[in-house]
Amino acid sequence: MKILGLDVGDKRIGIAVSDELGYTAQGITVLHRKDLADDLSELKGLVAAHGVSEVVVGFPKNMDGSLGAGAQKVMAFAKTMEESLSVPVILWDERWTTVEASRVLLKADLSRKKRKKVVDKVAAVLILQGYLDSLDHGEKEKHEKDEGPSD
């Protein structure tokens, strides 16, 4: 099953999805927020269309680990989304992801206008990829153990 990754902001939600095996994240779209009902409807459609089994939401903690107003908003949204979508929602520390997304896009030499259109999607990819990288992919470890040390 696939995992959906979200970078939730006040105006936009960047959206990424994993591959079937849960190794890589790909950006799919940016949702321009309207109201809660419309946002949830759009996300419900994406969950169904991609066969999503869980959702990872970027959790904007302050640098000292405390929770500010943005984190409180995301927590409330995540709780409502979990109830509405009937899939588990995981909060994932997103400190630095928007900064890193902007840096990636600057390196790609995109104009400011083009960066603004995709930075949320790239941030969602970074959030989801961080989560995927943290998962214990037992198959990979099993394969490495089966090969044994090389001589």
The pair of structure tokens assigned to 14 is 């960047």
Q: What are phi and psi of 128, to 5 degrees?
A: -65, -40
CATH code for the domain of 69: 3.30.420.140
Cα 66 to Cα 125: distance, rounded to the nearest angstrom: 24
- The answer to whether 20 and 107 are in contact (CB under 8 A) is no
Tokens of 30: 């940016």
What per-residue confidence (pLDDT) applies to 150? Answer: 46
Q: Kindly state whether residue 150 falls inside one of the protein's structural domains.
A: no
Question: SS3 for 138?
Answer: helix
- Is 151 within the bounds of a domain? no
Fill in the amino acid letter for 85: L
Sequential pLDDT tens for the chain (151 residues): 899 999 999 999 999 999 999 999 999 999 999 999 999 999 999 999 999 999 999 998 877 878 889 899 999 999 999 999 999 999 998 876 666 666 665 666 656 666 566 778 888 998 999 899 888 765 544 434 444 444 4
Q: What are the tokens at 11? A: 């105006």
Question: Into how many domains does the chain fold?
Answer: 1
Residue 108 domain boundaries = 2-144
Token output for 96: 């630095």
β-pairing, 12-18 vs 89-93, is unpaired
Classify residue 149: in a domain, yes or no: no
